[in-house]
Amino acid sequence: MICFRRIAFVIIAGLFGGVAGGPVGQGFAADKPVIHWISGPIPEAVIEENGQMSGGFLFETVRWFASRMPGYTHRYQLVPLKRTHQLLQNADRIYCGFSLLRNAARARLYHFSEPIHWAQGFRAGYRAGNEDVEHSLIEGKGLDMAQFLAGTGKAGRILGRSYNPQLDLFLEELKGQGRLLEVPEQAGLMEMLGRDRIDLLIDYPRMFLGTEKLSTVSVIGVKPYNAIHFACAMTTEGRAVIDRVDGIIADEPALPGYAAFRLRMLPPDHARALADQFVRYREDNNPQSSDEAG
């Protein structure tokens, strides 16, 4: 008697390229790994429209990289900064932030790429006439953090935000003295500054545009530019993504093609200064061995 079950098994095995554990047929190729690119909305950098990313120079940049990484499926998700850090510590998926600064604490948690962009250095914003701040200013140089710490003024910060080692230490010292107020959103900080609940706010220069009653000064010891990185979960898969990103960066000229997404938005003198920063970094650092890498 013919065993129809045996015949069916042989036919199916032939169609699928062999029994279980054998090679996978062309029609059944494994799905590509998915990179979940995450960031909060950032003026000019990550533009939100109807709850989705719709533009901005960092969004254009991450899509530029994604187009050169065909081995992955790329998805984009808007999330608050605090949620970004929670997701980056999730090992179940490949989460990568694309608008983060690197510091020592974060370097222990995430894999970081080489710098992908440069942001103008942080400045201190305050209401004109604020004595706590003005007593801490050194003419021609800017805010002296040590002098501000010696006073009684208060500062504000977004929950979970990091700046750079010097500013992070400065703000943590204020926090230890009970002089740091933290809120989840940028708007809350500006409101507190406007109502004199805080005396000082540290942020990028663009965040103070259009605020007529505020003055801004540089902060002594703070670099004129901050590196912006991709950061991925501390997993083997996350490391592989960062290695691919760094390889793409290394293959680009000193002034990479994606720099244009930012340069075209700036006045000519600012664009030239930023272009020089890209070139200086490449001249001073080997992209494959820089200590900026995660």
| Opening angle at CA 233, ends 247 and 224, nearest 5 | 65
**Is residue 87 included in any domain, yes or no?**
yes
**Is residue 230 included in any domain, yes or no?**
yes
**Is residue 292 included in any domain, yes or no?**
no
End-of-domain residue from the set 218, 245, 265: 218
Q: Is the pLDDT assigned to residue 291 strictly greater than 50?
A: no
Do 202 and 277 fall into the same domain?
no
CATH code at position 103: 3.40.190.10
Do 103 and 244 fall into the same domain?
yes
Do 131 and 201 fall into the same domain?
yes
**Is residue 23 included in any domain, yes or no?**
no
User: How many Å apart are CA 121 and CA 204, to the nearest integer?
Assistant: 6
Do 115 and 64 fall into the same domain?
yes
- 103-154 residue pLDDT tens: 888 999 999 999 999 988 889 999 989 999 999 999 989 999 999 999 999 9
Q: Is the pLDDT assigned to residue 157 strictly greater than 90?
A: yes
- 111-120 residue pLDDT tens: 999 999 998 8
Non-local CB neighbours of 176 within 8 Å, separated by 6+ positions: none
- Closest by CA to 95, choosing from 232, 229, 230, 245, is 232
177 neighbors 183 (Cβ within 8 angstroms): no
Full residue range of the structural domain in which residue 110 is found: 34-119+226-284
Provide the sign of the torsion angle of the four alpha carbons 158, 207, 204, 80, taken in this order.
Answer: positive
Do 59 and 83 fall into the same domain?
yes
Do 136 and 206 fall into the same domain?
yes
Do 181 and 257 fall into the same domain?
no
- 166-206 residue pLDDT tens: 899 999 999 999 999 999 888 889 899 989 999 999 998 87
pTM of the model: 0.68
Do 233 and 207 fall into the same domain?
no
With bands split at pLDDT 50, 70 and 90, how would you rate the model's confidence at 290? very low
**Is residue 185 included in any domain, yes or no?**
yes
Do 152 and 230 fall into the same domain?
no
What region, left, alpha or beta, does residue 55 occupy, with left being phi > 0 and alpha being psi -120 to 50 degrees? left
Do 135 and 177 fall into the same domain?
yes
Do 185 and 261 fall into the same domain?
no
**Is residue 263 included in any domain, yes or no?**
yes
**Is residue 128 included in any domain, yes or no?**
yes
**Is residue 86 included in any domain, yes or no?**
yes
Domains held by the chain: number? 2
Do 52 and 78 fall into the same domain?
yes
